[in-house]
Structure 1
Amino acid sequence: MFARKDAEANDHGRGIAGWAVVALVFMPFAAGYFLSYLFRTINGVVSARLAAELGLNAADLGLITAVYFLVLAAAQIPVGVMLDRYGPRRVQSVLLLIAAFGAAAFARSTGPLSLLMARAVIGLGVAAALTAGLKAIVLWFPRERVALVNGYMVMLGALGAVAATLPAEAVLAKTGWRDLFDILAVTTAGTAILIFFLVPERDVEASSAAAGGGLRAILADRRFWKIAPLSGGCIGSAWSMQGLWAPAWLTDVEGMTRTEVVTALCATAIVLSLGAWLLGMIASWTRRKGIRRETLLALVAVLFILAQLALVLRLPLPSIGPWLMIAIVGSATVLSFAIVSDYFPKEMAGRANGVLNVVHFGWGFLAQYGTGLLVAHWAQQDGHYPAVAYQVAFGVNVALQTAALAWFAISRGRHATRKSDDRFSFALYEDFDDLGSYSEQPVLIEEPVAQGKW
């Protein structure tokens, strides 16, 4: 409370700095993202119990799990506007209370419909879990440190995926899935209260004007649509696979026991967390070296496609290897959001991140539910779906990601050709990322370009 009073009295929050910002701003939002990642991946551990107790098939599990992504995608733009208008503290705390209610409702569900509705409420409640943290980082940390701090945010949040493996399995063994969700409900409500009363406020008044115009500028930005399909295709698919279909593959195709599956999921979750830290470090280093983050994102996409092909083609590799690479791709938001933070001013950070997350979560929903629909076309054999069912479903995803990568390459080629003929102001707006770092020096931009008109 004292920190907030000091912040508001001292230029709207500039009275705290250093480790105080880490403790009062970064860590509370990281805790919220931790919970969202736990909710995102927890169905991979409880799905077998849900299927056995409530008689669910692959399509049911796919829809119940994927509705989380659908609601998240639908909420991202209004949440982004609210973040820019009201600030991350208030938005995050209110939404996490909704997530707590959804978790409590999930614990009391008795069939597919009630599970679906409760899961949707959880998705709405964690809709700002990442973007609120990213908005807070943009507001409180220097621009040149944003990618690195984003990496730490995603790293700590991804530990929620670790908590959704062996720790969640230990709780399940003692209490059951209903009590587990009751525990999550209480924890989430406590985190919401912590954020509301601990996090200092930051001035967001300047960003509340022209929200619609800012959103139109984002949607009209060609640089954004150069990377959005590639980022969504890779990150959304990685989330959907780790959140549900990795344990299904390891059980049905690799023949692993329950203990082996949960241990493998724990390993992938740890790699996901470390991958976020590593990508954040690499992004920070390459920025200083003048290497564009778009190049790194494309490299991650190539490795992701190769890892999935190794599964689809059943190459003679250790079964866990490709899944570790897939897990790392789930942390590539570190790169995507750092790229977007360079495209737009901090007053538009919430909306820009929100629009990109629409693509991420929208693709995650389609990939997770679509995989379930495709797999369910094959009959189970001794309680397991055949390997070909997963190979076909994963192969369709790979084809879509390859198309997104091709679009990225074509778009870059067009931009490179156009730059030689365009005037400087247009080139600056179109390829701002080519500068390698944000320039604080004033530049002359023609009025139509400055207004986002093409």
Structure 2
Amino acid sequence: MNAGRRPAALVYAVALAAYVAAVFHRTSLGVTGVDAAERFHVNAAALATFSVAQLAVYAAMQIPVGVLLDRYGSRRLLLTGGALMVAGQLLFAVAGDVPAAVAARVLVGLGDAMTFISVLRIVAFWFPGRRNPLLVQLTGTVGQLGAVLGAVPLVALLHHAGWTPAFLTAAALGATVVLLLLVAVRDTPHAEHAAALAPDLATVRRQLADAWAQPGTRLGLWTHFVTQFSGAVFALLWGYPFLVQGQGFSPTAAAGLLTLMTVVTLVCGPVIAHLCARHPFHRSVVVFAITAATAGVWAAVLAWPGRAPHWLLVALVVVLAVNGPGSVIGFDYARTFNPVRRIGSATGIVNVGGFVASIVLILAVGVVLDLATPAGQAAPTLSAFRWAFAVQFLLWALGAVQVLRYRNAARRRLADGRVTAAVPAAA
């Protein structure tokens, strides 16, 4: 099929399927954490290194991937990323020790890092500019369906067929998506052009420095930091053990609650996007509201005497579901406070914020769980989980102070006329 005749909807649908698969691979460890601890005979802190390795690679690769994308295009990066994630799941399926398991999660993180930004580039080339904001939000929201596949179906398969068949199936799903990419996706709707040369190192450094010097970029980074980590860590690793070991849920019920979290994300994503589009000057108010609501519900859960009632845990996953769409506000700041030539650099900087916070929290929860669990006890107690999740309040305090600081700095720069924002009154 000629690229020029290829329907844009088909190209986008397959690229979006690649992102759904990436989210599936990314979150597949979260619902299998208890089984992973048993399989590899590790404690909570060691189990945390699996997710930390995956997220650290993802965060570290954001800016390099942007440079590679400019040179090689979306199709090559989506194919490479998909192949790396398949390899990671294959290795995870047969891994029998910790080094092999960590290497598997590194491969998943590396492939995942190439996916989302590549899909956004597909959107930019295949659709008119006026449709880009909606499609970007749609990509981030629909992509969370991958977490649904990584919850109930994967848990059911794991408990029915065992570890290796479950992750071999995950790899087969990823391989199917790679084949679809190979057949259906092209970089542009026109005849393929020779890839542009990558920017030289001096240009890359200058664009990064200019993006970092813009307070709006740092406002985006700290927005991403403060809104993303709690929901991400709950979904990626510690939510499932907390519900099963701490709150006494069955594995199926816990997976169902994580699925509910994803469904709510799908619903509230467009709502957050609409609020930010209608009230750009008050985007930081939305950020503070999401942060306060998340911290407030967590405080109620952790302070509840004994196990929390089911209605309160449902409220927790609902408010955590808003974290993902809330973190997208950080990318909106990058867009509105930076010229087009450095959007990639600014977006890469912003995307690091939430994942660094997630890495810190994953490690901290693992360490505190080990310290607070009585010696000789196999599973952490509810009390241990309470102390571990209380670490979040330090991160929320830091993030909220920084958001307030850089919001004020961005508004001063706007008032001085030293920046032209894409929308009026953009903080």
Q: TM-score, length-normalised on structure 1?
A: 0.83
- 1:114 deviates by 1.1
Task: Give secondary structure in 2 for the equivalent of 1:332.
Answer: helix
What is the match of residue 407 of structure 1?
402
Partner of 2:245: 252
* Larger deviation, residues 275-284 vs 256-265: 275-284
Which residue does the alignment assign to 2:117?
A: 131
Distance between the aligned counterparts of 1:301 and 1:137, measured in 2? 30
Identity of aligned residues (%): 22
Instruction: Write the letter of the residue equivalent to 1:300.
Output: I
- 3-state DSSP class of the match of 2:205? helix
Q: C-alpha separation between the residues in 1 aligned to 2:328 and 2:8?
A: 20
2:132 is equivalent to residue 146 of structure 1: yes
**Contact (CA 8 Å) 1:80, 1:353: kept in 2 or not?**
no
Residue 212 of structure 1: CA displacement? 3.4
Task: Give the partner amino acid of 2:186.
Answer: P
Counterpart of 1:372 (choices 362, 366, 370) is 366
Q: Shift in Å at residue 155 of structure 1?
A: 1.9
Whether contact under 8 Å (2:221, 2:351) holds in the other structure is: no
2:91 is aligned with 1:97: no
Deviation at 1:271, TM superposition (A): 1.6
For residues 406 and 189 of structure 1, the distance between their equivalents in structure 2, rounded to whole angstroms, comes to: 44
- Within a 5 Å distance, the mapping from 1:262-411 to structure 2 comes to 262-284=255-277, 286=278, 291-314=281-304, 318-380=312-374, 383-411=378-406
Does the 8 Å CA contact 1:92/1:128 hold for their aligned counterparts?
A: yes
From 69, 76, 85, give the equivalent of 1:83. 69
Instruction: Tell me the residue number matched to 2:9.
Output: 22
Offset, 1:292: 4.6
Aligned partner of 1:173 in structure 2 is 159
Q: 1:310 & 1:138 partners in 2: Cα distance? A: 43
CA distance in 2, matches of 1:290, 1:123: 33
Name the stretch that deviates more: 340-349 or 109-118: 340-349
Whole-angstrom distance in 2 between the partners of 1:182 and 1:43: 14
Deviation at 1:86, TM superposition (A): 2.4
Q: CA deviation at 1:220?
A: 2.2
Q: How many residues align?
A: 415
Return the alpha-carbon distance in structure 1 between the equivalents of residues 127 and 341 of structure 2: 14
Give 3-state SS (helix, strand or coil) of 2:325's partner.
coil
Residue of structure 1 aligned with 2:28, choices 13, 36, 42: 42
On the 8 A contact 1:148/1:283 being kept in 2, the answer is no
* Cα distance in 2 between the residues matched to 1:345 and 1:175: 52
CA contact (8 A) 2:224 2:329 kept: no
Between the aligned partners of 2:114 and 2:343, the Cα distance in structure 1 is 13
Unaligned runs of 5+ in 2: none
Give 2:185's match in structure 1, choosing from 199, 207, 212.
199
* Range 50-59 or range 158-167, more displaced: 50-59
- 1:411/1:387 Cα in 2 relative to 1: closer, same or farther (>3 Å)? same
- Structure 1 residues 225 and 347, CA gap change in structure 2 (3 angstroms): same
User: For the Cα contact (< 8 Å) 1:36–1:129, is it kept in 2?
Assistant: yes
1:133 to partner: Cα distance: 1.7
What is the alpha-carbon distance in structure 2 between the residues aligned to residue 97 and residue 374 of structure 1? 36
Structure 1: tracts of 5 or more residues without a match: 7-14, 438-454
**Does residue 231 in structure 1 map to residue 218 in structure 2?**
no
Question: Cα distance, 1:235 vs. partner?
Answer: 0.8
CA contact (8 A) 2:227 2:287 kept: no
For residues 83 and 296 of structure 1, do their structure 2 counterparts lie closer, same or farther at Cα, with a shift above 3 Å needed? farther
Alpha carbons 1:64, 1:116 under 8 Å: kept: yes
Instruction: Answer whether contact 2:219 2:406 (CA < 8 A) is retained.
Output: yes
Q: Which moved more, 1:145-154 or 1:115-124?
A: 145-154
**Please, which of 228, 234, 240 is the counterpart of residue 241 of structure 1?**
234
Q: How far 1:71 sits from its partner (Å)? A: 0.9
Distance 1:386 1:271, change over 3 A: same
Q: 1:311 to 1:84 in 2, by over 3 A?
A: farther
What code does the residue aligned with 1:22 have? Answer: A
Give 1:211 deviation, angstroms.
Answer: 3.3
Structure 1 position 237, deviation (Å):
3.2
